[in-house]
Amino acid sequence: MTSKQELLKHAEESSLRENPLQFDVGDTVDVHTRILEGDKERVQVFTGVVIARRGGGTRETFTVRRIVAGEGVERTFPIHSPKIAKLEIKRHGKTRRAKLFYLRERVGKKTRLAERRVVVPGTPAADEEMAMVVEEQVEEQVEEQVEEQVDEQVAESETQEGDE
């Protein structure tokens, strides 16, 4: 017999995104939302800081906060909603909490989060950083080989001096 949880999980799988949104709490994001106005569909962008992520499966949501005309505006989006056209990450914020509700009391520059450096594969910055890492590894290997050769030469010269 299958349990209710297994049945729910099987039913939810059809509603999940094939390529789930990759972001963390503290990231500044642009959420591109599809809006229907009569027969026309347009995309509206909501820019802000992700202050919370909650739930799981099809019920998973995230909350984005921004300041409009001096007033804080928060909007909650379902992660697997087809209404979300795309999600762009503008910057990665450095956080030590899963929920950033303390940002609600802060005003102005105090709402800024320190930026977290992230290497995203496939971007020019990532390619440059990978090239630098590879160069460093090659330099280390060359230095190790040179040290080994020098050690071998020193050992040979010591054995030759000892034989004489």
57 and 137 assigned to the same domain? no
Cα separation, 28 vs 77, in Å, equals 15
Full residue range of the structural domain in which residue 129 is found:
119-164
* CATH number for the domain that contains residue 86: 2.30.30.790
Q: Which residue, chain included where needed, has tokens 């995104």? A: 17
Cα separation, 58 vs 83, in Å, equals 14
Q: Which residues pair with 64 in a beta bridge?
A: 50, 75
- Within 10 A of 150 (CB to CB), how many other CB atoms are there? 10
75 and 48 assigned to the same domain? yes
Q: What integer pLDDT is reported at residue 15 of this predicted model?
A: 80
Closest CA to 24 of 50, 42, 5: 50
User: What is the mean pLDDT, run by run of 10 residues, along the chain of 164 residues?
Assistant: 79 80 88 92 94 89 91 92 90 89 84 75 64 80 87 80 64
Q: What integer pLDDT is reported at residue 146 of this predicted model?
A: 87
**Beta strand spans in the chain (E):** 28-37, 40-54, 61-68, 71-78, 84-91
Q: What integer pLDDT is reported at residue 35 of this predicted model?
A: 93
Contact in structure between 79 and 62 (CB atoms under 8 Å): yes
pTM: 0.65
**Helix (H/G/I), strand (E/B), else coil: 42:** strand
43 and 82 assigned to the same domain? yes
Q: What integer pLDDT is reported at residue 108 of this predicted model?
A: 80
Q: What integer pLDDT is reported at residue 49 of this predicted model?
A: 93
125 and 44 assigned to the same domain? no
Domain count along the chain: 2
